Structure 1
Amino acid sequence: MLHLMLRFCNFSNTSSSADEVVESCVFFFFFQSEAEGRSVAGALNFNAAPDAQILYKAMKGLGTDEQAIIDVLTKRSNLQRQEIAKSFKAQFGKDLIESLKSELSGNFERLIVALMYSPFKYDAKELYDAMKGVGTRESVIIEILASRTKAQIKEISKAYKEEYGSDLEQDIKSETSGYLEQILVCLLQGERDNATLYVDTALALQDAETLYAAGEKIRGTDEIQFITILCKRSATHLMKVFEEYQKLAGKSIEDSIKSETRGSLEDAMLAIVKCTRNIHCYFAERLYNALKGAGTDDGTLIRVLVSRSEVDLNLIKPEFKRMAGKPLSAMISEDTSGDYKTALLNLCGSD
């Protein structure tokens, strides 16, 4: 993210205040990201009522017209889908999500139903599902908390409370332990993405020295120092810290994390670093790992395509192609089939 902001922002205008420069750059970055990044833009001249009628006809009687469902729901924005759900309830007295669940099955059902949740409710649902029942899918929690902004995490926590009557932080504490619990709870506070382009070089060097002293320089690892700095510093500050760390340690912060930590704690720290350096590359890697080898991690594939299709999926796809050596759409075609594949490819768009 940072390199895009720096590339397109003009810092030569000294008449502008620092705050004005930051505000302009942040506005430009998100405008650029939304304009170029969306693979699903929604329908022009949208009208929810006829869309709701198409869905009703597709599901009434014997059999289901899956293609009609795909054509409507994968080609509308999330806000438009919410309007369709309201119109469906008003016209036919039925809940659209429940109707879809009763007519569809498998990964196709999972994908179509995911499209019907608003973004914050969907993230809340994914977090809830990751923690309910036996075992906890730490990778899902790490992905969501490491890649969302402070404002988004606040809204996700609110949606989680409204939907499940439970406190997200308390649930994470009950499902995790040790340093993993600490880093996840720290991420929940959302302190690391305060929008600022100013970097205190002296503090960045001090943080780099602290990380070096907490890991490579000693036998064992002082995990708390890593957690504190990674979770509480801004992205711009961390980029400078990583640069200074490389000079001190003679190796990247990623390599040090891999040698100093293990398991889910390592995954969480690396996710923070990757999202700081290049969030598009991070999600490309998530998709590649979901598709490569035998079998498919459909949960990750669905979650990333649904959650990023109206944000930055078009910016993720070039990173994926560089990593995989082939387009995302090609790997989706190879790994999936039927209506599920058709719907995924609609969300993915052309490469």
Structure 2
Amino acid sequence: MAAIGNRGTVTEASGFSAEKDVEKLRGAMKGTGTDELVIIDILSHRTVAQRQRIKEAYKQAIGKDLADDLSSELSGNFRSVALGLLMLPPVYDAYELRNAMKGAGTEEACLIDILASRSNDEIKAICAVYKKEYGKSLEDAICGDTSGMFQRVLVSLLTAGRDESSAVNEAQAVLDAKEIYEAGEARWGTDEVKFLTVLCVRNRNHLLRVFEEYQKISGRDIEESIKREMSGSLEDIFLAIVKCMKNKPAFFAERLYKSMKGLGTTDSVLVRIMVARAEIDMLDIKAEFLKMYSKTLFSFIKGDTSGDYRKILLELCGGE
């Protein structure tokens, strides 16, 4: 069992030397053709911290950005994974959010996946990076790109003000459950603000208690009610919050499954989760995936992807 806080498939490489890795990467990109296997081997078996040291050593030794060199050598989804792995987590999240809102249309799934699953500190870091890198606040970007109640939920999550204690106020939990019930199932139309206030503000233990109580009052799981009462992106974000509170690795397992089942693969989702969770909870995500779908995540990725893209994802997945 890995130490708590590191349930990742990617762990520190022993005998690590940034200089040696730089030599290998340099060799892999010199001349005609690229030795992708060397790049895959290094990037997928170093932690984020080790990759930062490789980036510094690369710049020092060669006077160029490793990301720029990789960007011109690689292409497609494989390039997306490689570049994602070189970024610090809040930088990668900010970059993904930015891409989700660039140009016409918005990839709501990206906004939901990231903002519903990150801690207060993670959200604060993402907001700081976003402002620094893109010259405007993440809140302004989101307000310019979304609307209605969906926007209000995102803005609430962006305040990074969720109670993160583990205290459960029994009387309040009962009241919260009753208020959500009365705001939804028990009336015509839905008062979504009540859902927002409870789901975006309360701590995890408290919410688990609210969900239990809700089941008692309404005879339904909270997820069922959300599906009945809401639609579109608002439904998606409330469900994501509930699922992350209940079991975050299971939430990501389901997102991975849905990105690969059926026709075509939603690569943006697959890449984002594999890169972002490799060092955090990939072991737990794999276990939940197997439990939920009776197939390994490894076999799913293998059957759904190809080439170097498949190779690097399978390394991040860390075997069957």
Shared fold (TM-score greater than 0.5)?
A: yes
Q: For 1:74-153, what aligned pairs fall within 5 Å after superposition?
A: 74-153=44-123
Counterpart among 204, 207, 212 of residue 243 in structure 1: 212
Deviations 1:207-235 (A, max 9, x none): 11100110011011001111111001111
1:296–1:335 Cα contact (<8 Å) kept: yes
Deviations 1:295-315 (A, max 9, x none): 111111111111111100001
Counterpart among 120, 130, 150 of residue 180 in structure 1: 150
Which ranges in structure 1 are unaligned for 5 or more consecutive residues?
1-29
Counterpart among 233, 245, 255 of residue 264 in structure 1: 233
Match of 2:295, SS state, is coil
1:149–1:193 Cα contact (<8 Å) kept: no
Tell me the residue number matched to 2:299. 330
Tell me the residue number matched to 1:277. 246
Q: Percent identity?
A: 50
Match of 2:190, SS state, is coil
Q: Distance in 1 between matches of 2:177 and 2:136?
A: 38
Match of 1:32, SS state, is coil
1:194–1:234 Cα contact (<8 Å) kept: yes
Q: Distance in 2 between matches of 1:287 and 1:200?
A: 35
Deviations 1:149-182 (A, max 9, x none): 0011000101111111110011101100100000
Counterpart among 218, 221, 233 of residue 252 in structure 1: 221
Q: Please, what is the CA RMSD of the aligned residues?
A: 1.1
| Counterpart check, 1:40 vs 2:10 | yes
Counterpart among 255, 258, 261 of residue 289 in structure 1: 258
Deviations 1:137-160 (A, max 9, x none): 111001101100001100010111
Q: For 1:214-229, what aligned pairs fall within 5 Å after superposition?
A: 214-229=183-198
Q: Distance in 2 between matches of 1:253 and 1:152?
A: 26
Deviations 1:76-130 (A, max 9, x none): 1111111101111100111100000100111111111111111110000000000
Q: Distance in 2 between matches of 1:68 and 1:184?
A: 40
Tell me the residue number matched to 1:49. 19
Q: Distance in 1 between matches of 2:284 and 2:163?
A: 20
Counterpart among 178, 189, 192 of residue 209 in structure 1: 178
Tell me the residue number matched to 1:192. 162
Match of 2:4, SS state, is helix
1:195 shift after superposition: 2.1
Over 3 Å counting, the alpha-carbon distance change for 1:170 and 1:278 in structure 2 is same
Q: Distance in 1 between matches of 2:299 and 2:17?
A: 33
| Aligned residue pairs, count | 319
**Where do 4+ consecutive residues of structure 1 move more than 6 Å?**
none
Tell me the residue number matched to 1:307. 276
Q: Distance in 1 between matches of 2:193 and 2:8?
A: 38
Which ranges in structure 2 are unaligned for 5 or more consecutive residues?
none
1:194 shift after superposition: 1.4
Tell me the residue number matched to 1:341. 310
2:156 maps to a residue whose letter is: C
1:33 shift after superposition: 3.8
Match of 1:191, SS state, is coil
1:321 shift after superposition: 1.1
Over 3 Å counting, the alpha-carbon distance change for 1:193 and 1:312 in structure 2 is farther
1:31 shift after superposition: 4.4
1:184 shift after superposition: 0.4
1:99 maps to a residue whose letter is: D
| Counterpart check, 1:62 vs 2:24 | no
| Counterpart check, 1:350 vs 2:295 | no
